[in-house]
Amino acid sequence: MTNVLRSRIASLAIAGMLAAPLAFAAPVDDAVAELARDWADIKYKTPANEQAAKYEALANRAHKVSATYPDRAEPLVWEGIIVSSFAGAKGGLGALNLAKQAKALYESSLQIDPNALDGSAYNSLGVLYYKVPGWPLGFGDKPKAQELLQKALAINPKGIDPNFFYGEYLVETGKPSEAVAYLERSVNAPPRPGREVADSGRRAEATELLRKARGQ
């Protein structure tokens, strides 16, 4: 066997070793991307009175993905996002139990990989902490929310979501002037391939909140 042939065989072997994890990762990545697209369609394209039922069905699908890939953080993050959205659409007493379920999902994902999806679990958990009522009704905690949202920003400082939600947090805690810079970053954030519907919807929300923060 010539040296050239040996070199080519070795290169193929290395390529195969590198390709194997990618091939394994593809199914979970595809499943997560599908959940993200379907969530965006519900949030931004579905009438409000139809959203709760659709979120519930999507949450069931997301749970199956999480169960199929128990060592991956990404499905847990998206299951949490969908359950949180279901809570918001459903409202009432049942919403708090759903919020607690979403909180547990985010915390589980952080134990696996806190940097998954650019720190989205920190961001989404922070949102829960400032939107859910505080004690004795719920677990809401605005200082804890700020801590988590800032962690998300540290991981993804240019991201459309962490800038939007930190801006929203500042507006809701009476600091609209401080929110302006974050909301401007959200409006001008780089696009995310495959997330066009979500980007368009979030950018519209950020633009509207930016007007409010500026007192317009």
Give 44-58 pLDDT, tens digit per residue.
Answer: 999 999 999 999 999
Cα–Cα separations (whole angstroms), residue 58 to 84, 133, 212: 12, 25, 32
pTM attached to this predicted model: 0.87
> For residue 177, what are its two tokens?
């002037």
Show pLDDT as tens, one digit a residue, over the chain (216 residues).
444 334 433 333 333 333 333 334 469 999 999 999 999 999 999 999 999 999 999 999 999 999 999 999 999 999 999 999 999 999 987 899 999 999 999 999 999 999 999 999 999 999 999 999 999 889 999 999 999 999 999 999 999 999 999 999 999 999 999 999 999 999 999 999 999 999 999 999 999 999 999 997
Annotate 11-46 with DSSP letters as a single string: HHHHHHHHHHHHHHHHHHHHHHHHHHHHHHHHHHHS
CATH code: domain 25-144 is 1.25.40.10
Positions of CATH 1.25.40.10 in the chain: 25-144
Looking at 113-141, list the stretches that DSSP marks H as alpha helix, in order from N- to C-terminal side: 116-131
Query: For residue range 23-72, what is the model confidence (pLDDT) as tens digits?
Result: 344 699 999 999 999 999 999 999 999 999 999 999 999 999 999 999 99
